[in-house]
């Protein structure tokens, strides 16, 4: 029974996380040329970084609370993304000014980093969506 509930929770979270990752990837893909400017503009408003931190931290914490298992199989992706969300959110909340400096230095590398992150989000989002909405 416990394993069935774990898979059910995994599918529920995957049903939310998968399409969200796809939407984020599409936003970057469709605005790739504008992303450096958007990131630069964001760096001018550290409080927006803090708000974005809470927007990442809270759902990450919920994912980790309901699905923090490092067992084999596809559900471990949910745990990994939950902890990534918690970590990134906490960094944005606690160190917004340091992130502003990092963003300023990383600006030129965004043409490489964004497409790679975009591809990862599309692949993982598509996979999680398939697992959540596909037939067993």
- What residue segments make up the domains of the chain, in order of their start? 2-133
| Residue 28 near residue 35 (C-beta atoms within 8 A) | yes
pLDDT at 1: 37
CA distance 26 to 22: 6
Residues in the chain: 136
Confidence of residue 112 (pLDDT cuts 50, 70, 90): confident
pLDDT tens across 1-52, in order?
A: 355 556 788 999 999 999 999 999 999 999 988 888 888 888 889 999 999 9
pTM: 0.86
pLDDT tens across 74-102, in order?
A: 999 999 999 999 999 999 999 999 988 88
> Can you say whether the dihedral through the CA atoms of 46, 49, 54, 57 is positive or negative?
negative
């Amino acid at each position: 029974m416990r394993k069935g509930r774990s898979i059910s929770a995994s599918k529920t979270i995957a049903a939310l996380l998968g399409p969200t990752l796809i939407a984020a990837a599409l936003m970057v893909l469709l605005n790739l040329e504008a992303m450096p400017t958007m990131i630069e503009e964001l760096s001018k408003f550290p409080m927006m970084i803090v708000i974005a931190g809470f927007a990442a931290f809270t759902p990450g914490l919920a994912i980790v609370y309901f699905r923090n298992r490092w067992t084999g199989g596809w559900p471990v992706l949910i745990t990994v993304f939950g902890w990534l969300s918690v970590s990134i959110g906490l960094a944005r909340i606690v160190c917004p000014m340091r992130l502003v400096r990092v963003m300023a230095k990383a600006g030129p590398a965004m043409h490489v980093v964004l497409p790679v992150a975009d591809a990862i989000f599309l692949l993982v989002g598509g996979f999680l969506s398939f697992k959540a909405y596909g037939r067993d």
